[in-house]
Each structure stands twice: as C-alpha cells, then as structure tokens.
Amino acid sequence: MAALAELAHRHGVPHVRRVQYSGLALEDEADSGAQAQRVRRLFAHSVGPVLSFELDGGREQISRVLDGVRVFSYVPNIGDARSLIVDPARITHREVPAEFREAAGISDNLIRLSVGLEHVDDLIADLDAAIADAYA
C-alpha cells in the first residue's frame, strides 16, 4: 500500500487541488484525529486501492487527462487487476443532480483511480504526463 500513499501524495503536482485517500490519515502514526481513528477501526488490515483527486480547470482539462493516460484504462468499475481511471460526475454519477454530487464531494473536476498491478513508477509517470499535457 506504500505505492498508493505515493500516488496520493501527488497533491504537490501543479493543477491538483485536492487528493482524497483514506490512507493519508495514517501517514502520521501519532495522528489521533477522528479520520485516522475511523480508518484504523474500519480498515484494520488495508485501506484499499481507490483514491481520487480534483483538478483545476474545466471539462476540457479533465477530458484531456482522461484521453492522455496510457497505462490507466477508462473503465467505471473498481477492483480490477488493471489500473482504472474515471470521472464520476460524467459516468457513475451522471444521473445525480449537480447539487447532490457537490454535497457528496463529487465535483465535475474529480477523477477517481482504482490502482491495479502496474508498477507505481509507471502509474505516476502516466498521470504526470497526462496532467502536464492537459494544461500545456
């Protein structure tokens, strides 16, 4: 799961506004915050392979990132051996009214990843290149 934490730390990348990954609450072993306690209680053995991040810009940049990845597959399910990428507001939550999506933290700029078996360096390079190209 160290690879997921490394991917989740991509919030230092330009144009990434926010990263959501439960494993980040566990980064500080001394953290006694509510989120860290919840994660330790609910995910005693492992946090899991799903994370999401929000980007700057609009629909054009999101589409360019999704079209620009080469290692990730654009598929709306999770838990595959392949690493998957999707924009929930347009795919899995497209029928949900915008105000309900926003209240749930699913903005139009949110991208969800389900990390598979590929090497973390390949995944990071793929995301870095797609994000850089989307804002060039």
- How many C-beta atoms surround the C-beta of residue 12 within 10 A? 7
Domain count for the chain: 1
pLDDT tens digits for the chain (136 residues)?
Answer: 445 555 555 546 788 888 887 777 666 555 567 777 777 777 666 677 888 999 999 999 999 999 999 999 999 888 789 999 999 888 877 778 888 888 888 888 999 999 999 998 899 899 999 999 999 9
Give domain status of residue 107, yes or no: yes
What's the token pair of residue 6? 């490394």
| Gap between the Cα atoms of 55 and 48, Å rounded | 22
Give domain status of residue 40, yes or no: no
The whole domain housing 89 covers 2-21+48-134
List the CATH number of the domain containing 10: 3.90.1150.10
| Gap between the Cα atoms of 67 and 3, Å rounded | 23
What integer pLDDT is reported at residue 10 of this predicted model? 52
Give domain status of residue 13, yes or no: yes
Give domain status of residue 85, yes or no: yes
Instruction: Provide the residue type at 46 as one letter.
Output: S
What integer pLDDT is reported at residue 1 of this predicted model? 44
Give domain status of residue 33, yes or no: no
| Gap between the Cα atoms of 121 and 114, Å rounded | 15
Half-sphere CA count of 25, side-chain side, radius 13 A? 19
Model pTM?
0.79
What integer pLDDT is reported at residue 77 of this predicted model? 84
Give domain status of residue 75, yes or no: yes
Supply the Cα-derived Rg of the chain in whole angstroms: 15
Instruction: Provide the residue type at 69 as one letter.
Output: V
Give domain status of residue 42, yes or no: no
Give domain status of residue 56, yes or no: yes
